[in-house]
Amino acid sequence: MTAPLVEMRNISISFGGVKAVDDVSVDLNGGEVVGLLGHNGAGKSTLIKILSGAYHASHGEIYIDGQKATIRSPRDARSYNIETIYQTLALADNLDASSNLFLGRELVTPLGFVNDDAMEAETRKIMARLNPNFKKFNVPVAALSGGQRQSVAIARAVYFNARILIMDEPTAALGPHETQMVAELIQQLKAQGIGIFLISHDIHDVMELCDRASVMKNGKLVGSVDVKDVTDDDLLGMIILGKKPAHLA
């Protein structure tokens, strides 16, 4: 059997004596969507920020394709083709869509100057695929609607050939129509063999979009289950009670 795309083994991290993530192991295969569930403060976002390079784990290791990976910064994570769509979107509101899309990875001219026109052209191409209604290329993203901002954040993650995609509450700020678009996008990316961690509050979303779900409570992993083996209520029980359902335990 081939090694999983991502394996996070025995990850722990503390903030001022509080163990935000305590000895958690999760894994993800290519072409698979794994949902991360839990209450606010359960540690899902913290766990994922370790993978995306925003935090450093105090214990534990990360393996990518079975090889030990050293991720000390967002830049390192990007070099492993890990892309993240943050809940806050992490957009610089004063810059336009293409500047945000290429932030930290600007296209440059032979003289080393940033090539805004080329970046805008690339942005138009990817947007035509992701969100054909998107037209506001030359205004700061502050002037965009929630859905448009979300599509900029998604475009940024997708454009650079992500192999591992982290989506932190991607539909939290969206209307039903845009939520549907994100759902379709996830299916599409999955079909391309990309592995996706989907952090969500919404059990319904997870049941619909994910192959497996890992549930966290108080920084600890309650368990990882195949979504087809469980019901909504089973997942809810794991979140609230912190116990695996009886038929799987």
Partner 1 sequence: MSATPTGSLTDTKRANLLQMLEIDTRLLGMIGAFLVISLGFDLLTEGRFLTPRNIFNLTIQTVSVAIMASGMVFIIVMRHIDLSVGALLATTSAVMAMTQTYILPDMLGLGLGNPLIAPITIVVGLIVGSIIGAFHGYLIGYLAIPSFIVTLGGLLVWRNVAWYLTDGQTIGPLDPIFQKFGGVNGTLGVSLSWGLAILGVLATAATLYAARRNKITHEAYVKPLWAEIALGALLSAIIIGFTAILNSYQIPVRRLQRMFERLGETMPEGFVAAYGLPISALVLLVVAIAMTLIARRTRLGRYIFATGGNPDAAELSGINTRLLTVKIFALMGLLTAISAVVASSRLANHSNDIGTLDELRVIAAAVIGGTALSGGIGTIHGAILGALIMQSLQSGMAMVGVDAPFQNIVVGSVLVLAVLIDIVYRRKTGEKI
**Which positions touch partner 1 (CB under 8 A)?**
52-54, 73-75, 78, 84, 86, 88-95, 99-100, 103-104, 106, 108, 112-114, 117-118, 120-121, 124, 138, 140, 142-143, 145
Minimum CB distance to partner 1, residue 115 (Å): 8
Beta bridge partners of 68: 63
Rounded to the nearest 10 degrees, the angle between the axes of helix 146-159 and helix 176-191 is: 10
Query: Both tokens of residue 190?
Result: 């999955």
Give the dihedral sign, CA 67/50/27/199: negative
Minimum CB distance to partner 1, residue 234 (Å): 34
Distances (CA, A) of 130 to 22, 176, 182, 206: 37, 16, 9, 22
Instruction: Answer whether 51's CB lies under 8 Å from 214's CB.
Output: no
Our CB check for partner 1 shows the closer of 112 and 228 to be 112
Our CB check for partner 1 shows the closer of 30 and 140 to be 140
Minimum CB distance to partner 1, residue 117 (Å): 4
Minimum CB distance to partner 1, residue 86 (Å): 7
Our CB check for partner 1 shows the closer of 7 and 169 to be 169
Beta bridge partners of 24: 11
Our CB check for partner 1 shows the closer of 48 and 225 to be 48
